[in-house]
Structure 1
Amino acid sequence: MIPDRTIPPGELSIRVYYEDTDTGGVVYYANYLKFFERGRTEWLRALGMDQHTLATQEQMMFVVKHADIAYRQPARLDDRILVRTAVTGLGASTIRFAQQALRDGTLLASADIQVCTVHALSFKPIRLSPSVRDLLEKALH
């Protein structure tokens, strides 16, 4: 997926495809997790963090530890939705994201996602590296 560069970092435009919907043409609820994942990935990429590089060079990966999602309105086939992503907190080995999915300014779903950093081989929690922490702290302010 190529990000839409006409919108600022922290925002990702996504078209709803047939594969995202149920038989009624409504986005299946679990697919919002995929949309939010794409939003976080592209937000990190806009900061200069490539997850593949982090895994291979720093032996660090991100895994979702907690997800709290509230659904408000359905998205439908062919809708264009905007996923907004922001960091709301940092721990020693965790990052907290606030995310929203909107259609034409109408809130469809919101999420509080907590991500934990783990070692790429052992999958044991590790601290955020200083370089990653610095980038994230700048994004907080």
Structure 2
Amino acid sequence: MTLATSNATGELAVRVYYEDTDTGGVVYYANYLKFFERARTEWLRALGMDQRQLAAQEQMMFVVRHAEIAYRQPARLDDLIHIRTTVADLRASTLVFHQQALRDGELLASANVQVCTVHATTFKPIRLSPSIRDLLNKALR
């Protein structure tokens, strides 16, 4: 996996392995959630956000609250797909990521994933810290 980022948009290259496919030889639908999760995590890491450090130092974690996915074309064994990640909405304690899985520019699947911030031990919703909000706002400009 490799990540390219222009700050506002992250792109993660993912090779489709046998373990990612179903009996029909195409990527199992739920595996797109894994690909999207990896791309979000790597984009945040590229911005300087280590999620383990956030939990330990700021007592904050990101959790998925809602995901909506549209499937258009299948990906197959050995395909190299690119997962594109952008932030579609940034609120006090939530982010909505728009993500796309593409093969050679062809849209395979797209998703809107709402992520909220929670306290690392109580799991109750909390606001984004000013430092994280500033980092995200800088990336979005």
Q: Is the structural similarity TM-score above 0.5?
A: yes
Task: State whether residues 88 and 140 of structure 1, in contact with CA within 8 Å, keep that contact through their aligned partners in structure 2.
Answer: no
* Distance in structure 2 (CA, Å) of the matches to 1:104 and 1:79: 10
- Alignment partner of 1:93 is 2:90: no
Residue 11 of structure 1: aligned partner: 11
Structure 2 unaligned blocks of 5 or more: none
Residue 29 of structure 1: aligned partner: 29
Equivalent residue pairs, number: 138
- Alignment partner of 1:74 is 2:86: no
Which runs of structure 2 are paired with 1:1-141 in the superposition (5 Å)? 3-4=1-2, 7-9=4-6, 10-141=10-141
Residue 64 of structure 1 aligns to which amino acid in structure 2? V
Residue 127 of structure 1 aligns to which amino acid in structure 2? R
Residue 4 of structure 1 aligns to which amino acid in structure 2? T
* Distance in structure 2 (CA, Å) of the matches to 1:140 and 1:114: 17
Task: State whether residues 100 and 107 of structure 2, in contact with CA within 8 Å, keep that contact through their aligned partners in structure 1.
Answer: yes
Task: State whether residues 5 and 46 of structure 2, in contact with CA within 8 Å, keep that contact through their aligned partners in structure 1.
Answer: no
Q: Normalized against structure 2, the TM-score is what?
A: 0.94
Deviation at 1:140, TM superposition (A): 1.8
Identity of aligned residues (%): 77
Q: Normalized against structure 1, the TM-score is what?
A: 0.94
Partner secondary structure for residue 5 of structure 2 = coil
